[in-house]
Structure 1
């Protein structure tokens, strides 16, 4: 019964892994350079898990299982980290040599197995011979060491990078830690197999690798992609100059205080409302007054609370993006984050309360108008 459950988990996760891999490179919502490497890495890990679980003893699948894909996975995951943090190593001449261990062992493995498994020619090597077994041992040890070096090197580069958002850094470090755990379990499974000739740790490794697909789907693909899209929207807005200005309130400037005038300047020019953590104390500090007095003045002169005043700016910013066809490729959640809302629920609730429709409905009106 336990084996049936384990088999089901591995096969189901394998299907999910392949589905995510294909989606990352074919869907416009996810497609980007970094996700191309993540897709390849996940495809390889899924294939390795299924091949190891199936354990073929002949034919093309036995040849595929014998190839040390671990070298390629280490290189593609390291490249994924470099692309995400936009590191200068990507432009170094030595960077491409990271793939040399895989291609060199790939050629040797194919050469040997075309003889051992398919008898296409008669080489001077024997499958059980000392030279071949020594090569296999060195290959296993170096692949493990190679993964360790690149994973910890990548972690160090992520920690030292100052050009990525907190959300992206948190995801990359979590993924890196997950990979470190996989490497540790990989080491334990090899030790268990050598010392006790059992597969408890190996089965656990299979489960962890299977769980990786589900975890990447939610945290690394869906949630992170919303953050990435938010960053893209922000970069686009700051890189272009248009004649459109933020919609300002129609008020009689002669009747408002200096404090309210300065408040509008902070909103219209510095766009403080885009800070999802902005609160009444922050505004009061910028204006050199107390929270209570700020609330009193806003209530008396604009007839709104501080949060209502800030959220109106956020709603107008979100509406502008939702009504602009340039941003149709971006998710509604990413637009809400760019406008200053800290969560999807807060965005939907506030938008619906202020406009009477959902953000999605607002976008559909723009498309049909």
Structure 2
């Protein structure tokens, strides 16, 4: 648990100090991860070490602050209109009130009284209500967002779902504590929080970086109006078939090969024929399967990007995604089958030649 908390601190610091990840949205994600790591440590050390300092820190409802920061991260990512008038800042009011309340109780020496117990229950219930309200509201906003990519929507919904699971477990810990006066389920909560931090590290840092790089590559190509037509011309063989000519046009002019979900059925519908007829024509006239035909376009486009020094700063996986491959393994497999070397080896060869 301590290792997970330390890793959470590491990731949160990396998000705000690394230039590639530095952004307004990631500042709030960083703070959210920092708060989770702190909550893990406070709970763990508060149980294992009898220290008044940990007890005092636990009185400040950091879970209220976490709900607000994570919700802010969501609305920044989806570019919601709440950002325009700063109404989202009201979400921080419950945390501010809880801090002021704790300070007042300390100054009035009310700890240990009936009033202290009552305030504790009120804060706990308020924290539950705030977290549940913001996480489900955030989920609704993400689903209805129109200005984000599908990849980013999936990422945000997965983060949201993970937090819902944590909140459900959190509810069980409180039920166990209040009704059965035990704390066994809190260990499961710690495990879930730790898994969340590790998951954020892998998918939120490494995987999302690949998606962000892919989007940067795409935006650059669009801004430069770069066309792969000159690259793919050499793939074309002499043919008089109308279907094959139209197929080349779809690849070269509309760059359909860049769609990772492109299917034989979709191509057949666009060409106005059946899947079977399309496969037969491509096999007879080009002597290839549909997937081989499409992948040749993808590999040629990838070769062009790997050869261009402008794209040296981007990962091989991001380039594979940009040209239409679903995964790193699919890209590597097709590339090695075509050129007898990996994309990384091809890039190094281009740098030294």
**Does the CA-based 8 Å contact 1:230-1:338 persist in structure 2?**
yes
TM-aligned CA deviation for residue 48 of structure 1: 0.7
Query: What does 1:1-369 correspond to in 2, within 5 Å?
Result: 10-28=1-19, 30-55=21-46, 58=51, 60-110=53-103, 112-113=105-106, 123-242=107-226, 245-250=229-234, 255-368=239-352
Contact 1:281 1:291 in 2 (8 A): yes
What TM-score, normalized to structure 1?
Answer: 0.84
**Would the aligned equivalents of 1:256 and 1:301 in 2 still touch at CA under 8 Å?**
no
Return the structure number with greater relative CO, CA threshold 8 A, min gap 6. Answer: 1
Distance 1:223 1:244 in 2: 26
Separation in 1, partners of 2:164, 2:344: 40
Distance in structure 1 (CA, Å) of the matches to 2:7 and 2:270: 50
Tell me which residue corresponds to 1:7: none
- Provide the secondary structure at the position in 2 that maps to 1:333: helix
Asked if the contact 1:29–1:330 (Cα under 8 Å) also holds between the matched residues in 2, the reply is no
What is the deviation of 1:366?
A: 4.4
Counterpart Cα distance in 2 of 1:180 and 1:255: 57
How far is the alpha carbon of 1:73 from its aligned partner?
A: 0.3
Contact 1:321 1:335 in 2 (8 A): yes
Q: How far does residue 273 in structure 1 lie from its aligned partner after superposition?
A: 0.5
Measure the CA separation in 1 of the matches of 2:83 and 2:311.
Answer: 29
Unpaired stretches in structure 2, ≥5 consecutive residues: none
Contact 1:284–1:294 (8 Å) recurs in 2: yes
Q: Separation in 1 of the partners of 2:42 and 2:329?
A: 42
Please give the TM-score of this superposition, normalised by the length of structure 2: 0.87
Root-mean-square deviation (CA, aligned residues, Å) is 2.8
C-alpha distance in structure 2 between counterparts of 1:286 and 1:251, whole Å:
21
Q: Distance in 1 between matches of 2:235 and 2:223?
A: 30
Residues matched between the structures, number: 351
